[in-house]
Amino acid sequence: MEITKKIFEFADELGPEKIVHLYEPRTRMKAIVVIDNVAAGPAIGGVRMALDVTTTEVRRLARAMTYKNIMAGLPHGGGKSGIIADPKTVNKEQVVRTFARGIKSLEEYIPGPDMGTDEASMAYIYDEIARAVGLPRELGGIPLDEMGATGYGVAECAAVAKEYINLDLNGARLTIEGFGNVGKPTARYLAEKGVMLVAASDSKGTIYNPKGLKVEELIRIKDATGSVVNYKDGEVLKTSDLLMISTDIFVPAARPDVISEANSDVLDAKLVIEGANIPITENAEKMLHDRGILVVPDFVANAGGVITASVEYHGGTEAQAFERIKSTIAKNTKEILDKVYSEKTYPRDTALGVARQRVLRAMKYREWM
Ligand code: NAD
């Protein structure tokens, strides 16, 4: 397809407003920035560093941020960027600083951490252009992974969603796919509500004990040895076996598209809270819903990280971030699920409709910049 036609193929009523390809010939740094929509305010979105990152992927992620940010009531639009490089082998500081200089003039885009970048990367960007979120504590950052911001929000989401399916959290069984920055705090905060973790997986395998796993001990083992499979008091299974374990609450917190039409029928759960981004294909979500399994979509449930980033950007504290995550995610979960049950719609369709309307309303107040 001719390139101009291809670039505008996905332009719709919301955006994307800018797609910028950066190339710095001296170091050969290549990057893509997509600013999807800034009606609610400057776009916040992560910087992904990977060898295989594409314009299409960045564009989809930027749109997801538009929805997530407006859903969370943040004064921010959505954007995303991708640096085409291998985070394990490049001189990260040099690449990130070059990228930062390249986006200096894109003042309506505020970068944050994503796959392949971290707090230090954000500190370099901040040093170059005085604009970044997810900063180290020394620069006024709120350590969102340390506080378990996203997992905290996932747990608060479950606490509201359970009302709609008559699930008692006390003693409810929990399985978590991906015991990382999202999965670990999800287990911790749900355990505080009486939930029993029966299985957790990572890329090396699954640990399972129907009588319950000790969450703090499992976190300690994962951090010390790199995998949940080294936890003693449980059965070690393959990573993919997790999906077949009967549970009450399932939290996917690893990778996109792990559940599809091909395998959704094996899942035996009452409630799914999406910790990861797009862990279930749209069709599979519908199939689960038709089987009576309630699925709360990613951009409603996993906004804890970006809410914290926004609180940080506006000079707030960690305590304010916790408060904001709880109130926002509880309110949104209730609003969406009230509609789902009264209008008999699918959760994602409902949530997308609500988010889209909010963006369109914000657009009425703004001239294009
Ligand atoms: P992470 O790297 O800290 O943890 C991911 C975990 O998943 C690791 O333990 C890894 O071993 C495991 N894993 C990898 N492949 C797996 C597989 N096939 N099956 C089971 N486990 C597997 O990552 P994270 O920050 O926890 O992010 C997880 C997901 O949540 C990503 O999709 C991310 O985009 C999304 N997300 C993260 C945040 C955040 O605040 N960190 C916020 C919103 C969404």
Q: Quote the CA–CA distance of 19 and 22 in Å, as a whole number.
A: 10
**E strand spans, 240-348:** 249-252, 271-273, 294-296
* Strand pairing class (173-177; 196-202): parallel
Report CA(201)–ligand 1 centroid distance (Å): 11
Pocket test for ligand 1, best of 119, 201, 255 (most atoms within 8 A of CB): 255
Condensed to tens digits (0 to 9), the pLDDT of residues 204-231 reads 999 999 999 999 999 999 999 999 999 9
Q: Quote the CA–CA distance of 96 and 85 in Å, as a whole number.
A: 10
Pocket test for ligand 1, best of 181, 257, 311 (most atoms within 8 A of CB): 181
Residue 41's contacts (CB-CB under 8 Å, 6 or more residues apart) are: 74, 75, 76, 77
> Around Cβ 343, how many Cβ atoms within 10 Å?
10
184 annotated active-site: no
Mean pLDDT of the chain: 96
Looking up tokens 């010939």 gives: 25
Q: Quote the CA–CA distance of 136 and 123 in Å, as a whole number.
A: 7
Q: Which bin fits 212, alpha (ψ -120 to 50), beta or left (φ > 0)?
A: left
Q: Tell me, yes or no, if the pTM score tops 0.85.
A: yes
Condensed to tens digits (0 to 9), the pLDDT of residues 326-357 reads 999 999 999 999 999 999 999 999 999 999 99
pLDDT of 7 reads 80
Mean pLDDT of 110-126: 95
Looking up tokens 């594409």 gives: 54
Residue nearest to atom 29 of ligand 1 (CA): 276
pLDDT of 160 reads 98
pLDDT of 369 reads 60
Report CA(335)–ligand 1 centroid distance (Å): 27
Q: What DSSP element (H or E) covers 223?
A: helix 215-225
pLDDT of 256 reads 85
pLDDT band of 6, cuts 50, 70, 90? confident
Q: Is 150 in the pocket of ligand 1 (CB under 6 A)?
A: yes
Report CA(255)–ligand 1 centroid distance (Å): 6
Please answer whether residues 159 and 333 qualify as being in contact, where contact means their C-beta atoms are separated by less than 8 angstroms. no
